[in-house]
Amino acid sequence: MRTSVDMSQIVGSHDILLICLDTLRYDAAVQEEQAEGTPVLNRYGRWKKCQAPGNFTYPSHHAMFAGFLPCPYGIKRMEDRELLFFPSHIGLGRKVPEGAYGFSGSTVMEGLERVGYDTWCVGGVSFFDKRSDMGKVFPSYFQKSYWNPSFGCKVKESTANQVDLILKKISAAEGERPIFLYLNVDAIHEPDHFYLDGCVRDCLESHRAALRYVDGQLGRLFHGWKEKRGSTFVICCSDHGTCYGEDGFWSHGVDHPAVLTVPYKHFFL
């Protein structure tokens, strides 16, 4: 499937931001889009309904870091995926789809590093916290990785703290090297009840309230990035959704439409 952008023209000429709104449900994203609760993200087009690469963070990110981002919900063949990044030595006839960027290496980040990118990871959930052997796996894929307890799921200001760090780092970054930044936004992940006044248990309404909070912080990030950096391409998506009791299902790591259906968009700053 031909891509909607030509990644061979973007790679090398643009910074690339991969922003994962960890655990964001598609229905919640669309509800806030329609209610104008996410004015920053709304500026960059409508959400696309997609299939999650996995039903929780760990498998989903292994797929995404190999180039297999969320794919359109209705596709019925692997060949119909829109692949922005294509692992040149694996499957699909080993032929780079039109508009995709064929990379070598074990991850997108390794491929971009080989053509001059500085690769950054700003972690959120525990799979990125570097406090356990498993929590060191994903950060090890990047040249620079950052996490501290103020980025954790239980911290109400987690996204603001992440954005503060990023803005500080880009002020000191080497201007001539393009940056690939992966940001794991975990504010929408459980627990999220504290984003909704009077709420004592996580629910779809507090999930949406967390997204509204995140949207404001992304506005700060995008403004600061545009001020300090050059041309930038953004991929913004969820890795999986979550359940709040639908059909008796709770949380994620299970196969339910609320878990497996995620929002996706890409755009230029």
Cα distance between residue 158 and residue 155, in whole Å: 5
All domains of the chain, ordered by start, with CATH? 7-268 (3.40.720.10)
C-alpha dist (Å) from residue 7 to 49, 114, 217, 219: 21, 16, 27, 25
b/e map 120-136, b = 16+ CB within 10 Å: bbbbbbbbbbbeeeebe
Residue keyed to tokens 């508009």? 99
Q: To 10 degrees, what angle do helices 158-171 and 204-228 make?
A: 10
Of 239, 212, 42, nearest to 127 by C-alpha is 239
Dihedral over Cα of 26, 27, 30, 36: its sign: negative
Position 230 scores a pLDDT of 84
Contacts of 30 (CB under 8 A, 6+ apart): 47, 263
- Average pLDDT by stretches of 10, the chain with 269 residues: 80 95 96 97 96 92 94 79 84 73 92 95 94 95 96 95 95 83 96 92 95 97 92 96 85 86 96
Q: Rounded to two decimals, what is the model's pTM?
A: 0.94
Cα distance between residue 127 and residue 137, in whole Å: 8
Position 92 scores a pLDDT of 61
DSSP per position, 212-253: HHHHHHHHHHHHHHHHHSS-EEEEEE-S---EESGGG-EESS
Amino acid at 55: N
Partnered with residue 71 across adjacent β-strands are 51
Position 174 scores a pLDDT of 66
Position 1 scores a pLDDT of 55
DSSP per position, 34-72: HTT--HHHHTT-PPEEEE-SSSSHHHHHHHHHTT---EE
